[in-house]
Each structure stands twice: as structure tokens, then as C-alpha cells.
A and B are shown apart, each in its own frame.
Chain A
């Protein structure tokens, strides 16, 4: 079942096309990365999914409901970009108020607040006013707010943008935690390393268009280069390798080639041994997200110049 589904979402602000044509699906339990440079339309997309902004055209469903449905909202958590809140409240009061908006109350709410404060390392700062919080602390208390209701799906818009490396690590851990509890995460970011570590799937957005989709955890799809270090190589070996992939060539004392997926590796190793080769290294590389990102964004640039 898809927890998020959109069909040709478009949003125009006056003359400005913020999101051109967004069609995507997110499966239950996925950590979905939404990646793109500033101004690509990431926040606007999230806002459409949450019913904050009305799409100009197109449709979307979250948890099977149209955006803004009150029942769906009981199961949704959201950390907005540029997190700012009623800063005359203390951390605990703030979480209490938001808990009440979720219909929580009493001991259950109190306990949830303490658990979350501990989780985001703000137990001691809980009775201080948000005015006195640093940007990172605000981001963390916002994350706690987004998790108050044990959401089925959390939308995080640039959750690590104000954080130092330790803070980022903490957020990363929390995302890993909630994923293991089966929560779906929709993560907006322009931080590649962030997404690379936490996400199952990434969609690249550029000027309001989806320009690429990449599966990160699915090893079947996305290895593109194999690096081999073998004892002795003659041309017959190089030619023989062609049955497993393409473009096998020497690179110094290494051999590089492109393969489709990991599945062929055991067979390839057996074949090499059968040929009497000594294997010192057999390493499959995933292209880094950064590589893909740069590649995708520059390609797209040329496209838009053409168009």
C-alpha cells in the first residue's frame, strides 16, 4: 500500500512555477528522500501534501486521504523548515500544547513528553523558554513535537540544516529508530550525506520537476562499477569478463568494468578461479549520491537551456 501518492501535482505562485509536475508514490515504512537544490520546490511539495498549500492542479493522497483531512492528520507528524514557534513557552509547555492539539492528555502525554525530551537530549532544558534555545535545540524540540503522536508518517523539512555534526548524528539516529518502528519518513534535504545514510529511495527534484529516482538500499539496481585486482591477466580473461558486464578494461594494475547488479558476482568469482586467476580484490562500487546529484543537475541544466 502507498502511504503517499501524488498525480501531476502542480503549484503556481502568481507567475512563479514552484512545482511543475510531481508524480510519485511512497510505500509504507520507507524512508523517502526528497533531494534538490534550494528553490527546487521541495517545501512547496510537502506543503501541498499537508494541505498547507492548495495545488494549482493535480491530486494527492496521504494515508489514503486527500490532504488536510483531519483523520489523516492524527497520524501525521511535521517538522517545518525554518522552525519557529511560540517562543514564550518552555520546551515542556510547548510539547504539552501540541500534544493537546493531537487530542492527547494526562499521564500519557506527560510520559510521552519526558520520553521524547530524553530522546532529543533536552531533558535539562525542558523548563527553559524556547527564546533561550539555540537553533539546534529548536530543531530538536521541533523533532520531538513531530513525533508526539507516534505518527504513521513524518514529514521532515531540512531537519538538520541548523545542526552541528553531533546534532546531525542525533537526528540520523532518531530517523533510524523511527524507521525500525515502521514509521514512514518523508525527508526533504539538500544535504547529500544525510540522505545517503538514512534513505531507501531518493527522488531528485529540479525546478519543480522530478528528474531522477534512485533506490539506495536496493542492491539489485544500483551498482555501476566493479573493481578487480587479479594476479595475472591476459586478454582472454578480459574478453571472458564481457559475459558478466560491459566495458572491461585495464586501469594500471586494476581491471574495471560496469555491471548490472550484485547477483552476478559469485558466478564471476567462480569463473575467474576456474580460469586459474588469483583474486586480490573484488569490489563493487555504488556511485555516490553526490556524483549522481551533480550529474543529474548538470544534465538537467542543459535540458532547460535547450527548452
Chain B
């Protein structure tokens, strides 16, 4: 038994390793890293000049240079804008990186020589999931850490609750990645890409409807938001993370991409975790039963 589960792990890691290898060799990852690095550099330069402007203005206003509430708001807004963009980048990467991993191998037939080996099909799905999850978790942590770190170093402003928000954003990344892998067991690569981005778009528009509804006090609009969040929790996760990272009150002052007039229930976290696990199980089940 112990021996058996060890062998199982070994198989999964062999597949995960190949997946990792594939991402490296196919240059998708390289493109993402270069883009990400470029983004962080531009963000850093931007912060440098903006911070400069803020400090000069502040010196004029108050020679003692105490950090006022208003420039804390400016720093928070900067960091949130950076993270909002990173959120999009992560959504895109989590969707596109694994989008053809199963569908592509099924249509080319290369999956056949893999599946006839003494490997369970579940191990193939889990191994691929592990490989991509490993890559995406590192990538997401670097990108989010890069933004938050840059702001902290250059302005001495620490974004609040990052220890809560980071795991939530990582969960969002994993959720999209899992959906993309699961879609690949059923759809062709193109259909799968359309499917996952479509789901994301649905949640995105639902999130906005909910926010506007909250602002106007319209219950029907808010219900639409809740329902779309249940169908696809990605946007709710972002809103929740954004809520934690903004000091009390900021979020509800006006409507921004990271405002939260309506804060998603923390139960949404449980739902998102369950959603990811169920999606993964469905992917394994469908892949295990289908003809290849």
C-alpha cells in the first residue's frame, strides 16, 4: 500500500515534470515572464515619479512631512491599480497556459502512447494539474509580491491584509487553471479557450451588475451578481481580495474596479475551494471515461 501510493506519486511527478518542461520549452511561460517583468518595471518607474510628486506637494503643504490620510489613499489606489492589472494577467495566464494541454494531446493522438502506460488516467490529469499549479503559484506570487513589494520599498506604505488577499488571489488563479484543464478533457483547444474566458466574462459582468445594484439599492441586480458568482466565482474572489486590501471605508467611497459596495460573503471562499475541487474531480472522471 505504502509502496503503491509512492509509485502513484512518482508517476504524478513524472507527468508534472514533463508539464513543467513543456511550459518552458514552448516559450509560453517565457513570454509571460518577460511581460510580467516589463509590467513590474513600468509600474516601478511610475511609482517613482508619482511618489516624487506626492512628496513635493506634501512638503509644500506641511513641512513636517507627516504621512497624511490622503497620500495613504493615493498609495493604496496605486497598489490596487497594479494588482488589478496583475489580476487580469493571472486570469489570462491561468487560462492560456494549460488551455491545450489535454485537448491538444487528444487531437494529435500523442495522449495515446501516454495513456497505455501503467499510469492511471487520474494520475495524468493530476500530474498536469500539479505541474501547472506549481508554475502559476510561483508566477502569481512573484507578480503580486512584486507590486506590493515595490510600493512598500518606494513609499514605505504597506498594503493591509496582504496575507489574506494573496491566498485569495492564488485561489482565483487555481480555479481558472483547473477550469481550463477540465475544459480540455471535453473541448477542442479553441472551444476551451472561448469557454473559460466566457465564464470569466460572465462573472466579470455579473460582478459589475452587483456593484451598481448595490449602489442603487436594487436587489434584483444584486441577485444576478450572486448567481453569476456561484456559476463562476473568479470575480467575487478578486472583489473579496480587493476588499481586504483597502483600509476600512475606501472601497465604498466610490465605484472603481476594486471597490466593494457589496462585499462578497467569506463563504464564497468555501464555495470557490469546493468549486475547484469539484471541477478537478469532474475533469478526472470525464477524462477517465472518454474514448481517446
Contact = CB atoms under 8 A, between A and B. Distances in A.
Given A73-B118, A78-B116, 14 more contacts: A13-B291, A47-B292, A54-B289, A54-B291, A70-B118, A73-B116, A80-B112, A82-B109, A85-B110, A85-B113, A88-B21, A88-B22, A89-B21, A97-B18
A53 B110 CA distance: 15
Interface in B10-24: 10-11, 14, 18, 21-22
A101 B112 contact: no
A100 interface: yes
Contacts of B109: 80-82, 84
Contacts of A50: 116
B18 A103 contact: no
A84 B118 contact: no
Interface in A51-85: 51-54, 70-71, 73-74, 76, 78-85
A216 to B, nearest CB: 27
Nearest to B25: A88
Contacts of B113: 78-80, 83, 85, 98, 142, 145
Identify the 3 closest CB pairs spanning chains A and B, nearest first. A101-B117, A88-B25, A73-B118
Nearest to A85: B110
Contacts of A13: 291
A86 interface: yes
B120 interface: yes
Given A70-B120, A101-B119, A84 B25 contact: no
A73 B112 contact: no
A145 to B, nearest CB: 7
B110 A101 contact: no
B110 A84 contact: yes
A102 interface: yes
Contact of B291 (A52, A79, A89): A52
B205 interface: no
Q: Give the interface residue-count category, chain A.
A: 20 to 34
B149 to A, nearest CB: 34
Given A97-B18, A101-B14, A103-B7, A86 B110 contact: yes
B13 to A, nearest CB: 9
A48 to B, nearest CB: 9
23 contacts: A47-B292, A51-B115, A51-B116, A52-B115, A52-B292, A53-B291, A73-B119, A74-B118, A76-B116, A78-B112, A80-B109, A80-B113, A81-B109, A82-B109, A84-B109, A84-B110, A86-B18, A88-B22, A88-B26, A89-B21, A98-B113, A100-B14, A102-B118
Contacts of A98: 113, 117
Contacts of B7: 103
A71 B120 CA distance: 11
Interface string B44-67: 000000000000000000000000
Nearest to B112: A80
Interface string A219-260: 000000000000000000000000000000000000000000
A49 B27 CA distance: 37
Contacts of B291: 13, 47, 52-54
Interface residues on B, range: 20 to 34
B267 interface: no
B114 interface: yes
B108 interface: yes
Nearest to B18: A97
Contact of A101 (B22, B108, B114): B114
A135 B18 CA distance: 23
A161 to B, nearest CB: 14
Interface in B86-136: 108-110, 112-120
A84 B246 CA distance: 51
A99 to B, nearest CB: 10
A13 B18 CA distance: 32
A301 B119 CA distance: 42
A101 B26 contact: no
B150 to A, nearest CB: 34
Contacts of B114: 101
A97 B13 CA distance: 11
A70 B25 CA distance: 30
Interface in A183-233: none
A32 to B, nearest CB: 18
Contacts of B110: 84-86
Contacts of B119: 70, 73, 101
Contacts of A76: 116
Nearest to B124: A101
Nearest to B292: A52
A103 B118 contact: yes
A71 B113 CA distance: 16
Given A84-B108, A84-B110, A86-B18, A102 B117 contact: yes
A80 B112 CA distance: 7
